[in-house]
Amino acid sequence: MNEVVVLTPERILEATEEVLRRYGLAKATVVDVARVLDVSHGSVYRHFPSKASLRQAVAKRWLDRANAPLQEIAESSGPAPARLEKWLRTMVDIKYKKVTEDPEMFATYLTLAQEACQAVRAHKERLVDQVAQIISDGVKQGAFEVADAKVAARAVFDATTRYHHPAHSDDWKDPTRPARIDALLELLLRGLEAPRKR
Amino acid sequence: MNEVVVLTPERILEATEEVLRRYGLAKATVVDVARVLDVSHGSVYRHFPSKASLRQAVAKRWLDRANAPLQEIAESSGPAPARLEKWLRTMVDIKYKKVTEDPEMFATYLTLAQEACQAVRAHKERLVDQVAQIISDGVKQGAFEVADAKVAARAVFDATTRYHHPAHSDDWKDPTRPARIDALLELLLRGLEAPRKR
DNA sequence: TGAATGACAGATATTGAAATCTGTCAGCGC
DNA sequence: GCGCTGACAGATTTCAATATCTGTCATTCA
């Protein structure tokens, strides 16, 4: 019954996150991670070829976790305009919660993500594909009229940069933020809409 | 005929820019500025109360210079949609030229501007007012239909953040950039447009 | 008299020696 | 054999002494 606790990449990632939380990004060392796991730091290098790859893996996990709820909305059914709005608001909320609940860890993960720019590109690509899916549904439903769903999706994603890109995390304090988001979403949805009769 | 060259704020700003160009932001000192002007550094402090205020003045000058051509477009006449598109493209181009022609000086001015965040706020406010002016004209012309020109202007400004905010200067290499700007502008103009008959 | 100077105190930046960390690997023990 | 250890070289970081800079002001000079 008393299983031998084996060293797995999963356990190492967990220990790394603890070390990051405890010491912060700058002072977190592989030696610290090994100490938490009660092994020598050489053992960690048996599972990750370098400190950089360890950090990348942490970043990737973080991005994947952020992706899940959005994926779900994109795959659900219903009127596309409402779904798109919900998707965008959810994305904005996810970032909002992350940055307000634990600003230090957010900053940490953020830097890790910037280092793993390849993973970030893939993450963004996935997000744009989700938006493209919703817009494409909207075209089929007759609610949207766009030449190319993927192009439109990227435009929508770009247009909301200010409210989901981490570079603008200091805007969270702005009291007019909710009203501005409302105005922006309305503008975008109107731009996607099929022309209406007066 | 041989005028005595007096020390003016203007001359000090010019000398400061030269020093910034020569040594870079981190190593530029007030002593260096004084040396360029061939005076003691104490004299510089007669015109600017601190190094910080000197740097602020440089940042302000930079922002004012960037503002001029946009102001002109905002004040011109003609169909609002074309004018808005021109204004937005000009703003994007200004940043593009600045960053490609002299990336080091751009980075320098950028940091100075971040320090002078009050001046940046004022600058942005001016820009949004210019967009609001154009949109307001568009409403009068019957081309646009929006509840509040200022609110819509802020939404347009926010939506184009990715293409004018310095935090996204590394996107300038992206080969799909022009196409994405086109798509975004089309989306925004469609969103502002008064509903058309089919 | 009013602009400029230059010596000065406290703050900030630089530097190089010492400490710590990363990544490797021969060898140990299960 | 397989996973782990711990000593090691080279790279990086830390820290304290040293140098430079910022901002002030009594003094000079025109």
| A19 and A98 fall within a common domain | no
Instruction: Confirm whether A184 is domain-assigned.
Output: yes
How many of the other CB atoms lie within 10 Å of CB of B52?
Answer: 11
CATH at B22: 1.10.10.60
Nucleic strand C near CB of residue B4 (< 7 Å): no
For chain B, the domain total comes to 2
* Region of B6 on the Ramachandran plot (φ > 0 left; ψ -120 to 50 alpha; else beta): beta
Q: Distance, in angstroms, between A124 CA and closest chain B CA?
A: 14
A50-88 pLDDT tens trace? 999 999 999 999 999 999 999 999 999 999 999 999 999
CATH number at residue B76: 1.10.357.10
Nearest-CA distance A31 → chain B (Å): 34
Residue B2 lies in a domain: no
B43 CB-to-strand C distance under 7 Å: yes
Shortest CA distance to A83 belongs to which of A140, A38, A33, A31?
A140
Residue A1 covered by a domain: no
Question: Is a pLDDT exceeding 50 seen at residue B193?
Answer: yes
ipTM score above 0.95:
no
- Is there a single domain that holds both residue A42 and residue A59? no
Q: How far apart are CA A140 and CA B193, in angstroms?
A: 23
Q: Does residue B21 form part of some domain?
A: yes
A88, A186 Cβ separation under 8 angstroms: no
Same domain, B88 and B29: no
The CA-to-CA distance between both ends of chain B, in Å, stands at 74
Q: Residue A3 — pLDDT band, cuts 50, 70, 90?
A: low
Closest residue by Cα to the C1' atom of nucleotide D25? B42
Judgement on whether residues A73 and A32 belong to the same structural domain of the protein: no
Confidence of residue A4 (pLDDT cuts 50, 70, 90): low
Instruction: Give A3 or A178, the one with higher predicted confidence.
Output: A178
Closest CA to B31 of B43, B46, B47: B43
Is A25 among the domain residues? yes
Interface contact A154-B196, CB threshold 8 A = no
Residue A13 domain boundaries: 9-47
Closest CA to A126 of A184, A59, A63, A57: A63
